[in-house]
Structure 1
């Protein structure tokens, strides 16, 4: 059986990385998460900026992020979430496809709370303990998506 493919800007995303589907949005695991449980909510339609979404798409993306965030917060035992849309290249957007980061947060995860934005903006260049953060394997991403998918079975369309 052929796996369905989705576009995330210029990148092809396999069905195995998608854990949430709504009429206008997808939830997918992140190739280089900055915390465990850092996931993305993307529009199904490939458009670069938030302003390019119509009202239904924008509403659906926010409601999808809310549903996804509720599950992520429980499953990753965090106490808060950082929800971020980097809207355009000067805002740190590296993939020209509107998307929201849903990032689990815990007390003390960054010494200065706003340092998360520096790490997010530099996520492709960040070094942790002097080592570059490597992309996860397809199998690692599939395992996380498989763990999250059952929480959205009633929603996935």
Structure 2
């Protein structure tokens, strides 16, 4: 598969760094911290409860495999793992996904500010999207972690 659908967005294979049977992981076009990546089911599924048991299992096994590699690669000392399930929870793309955000001491003045930033990062027009080339380079580096 050369591309994936992420809600109504097309995700190029060049920004995908991990695939399992039912899930894939890709770099974020507007990360809130270095290493902020997304894991999503391959099938477009809007809400967590709409996933099949196999999709839930696969998504969380994929997340479990990705977290330690991302944390090591970005020299994090902790990780936020978040799902915004529905519009009122801050979900901006109508496709369930897991945010993996490696953390370091002092990356936010108040540790929990990460949630405020996560809530607004897709709506913040002051932060530009990264270039496809930047994203492809990061995905290529991350893909090496899983070979």
Q: CA deviation at 1:63?
A: 1.1
Corresponding residue of 2:135: 141
Paired positions, count: 147
Per-residue CA distance 1:109-145 (angstroms, 9 max, x = gap)? 1111111111000002337xxxx11100000000000
Q: Which residue of 1 aligns with 2:57?
A: 59
Q: Which residue of 1 aligns with 2:46?
A: 48
Aligned residue for 1:87? Answer: 85
Unpaired runs of at least 5, structure 2: none
TM-score by length of structure 1 reads 0.90
Task: From the CA coordinates, give the structure whose radius of gyration is larger.
Answer: 1
For the residues of structure 2 that align with 1:139 and 1:108, how far apart are their CA atoms?
29
Structure 1 consecutive aligned stretches of length 4 or more whose deviation exceeds 4 Å: none
Q: Distance in 2 between matches of 1:58 and 1:77?
A: 28
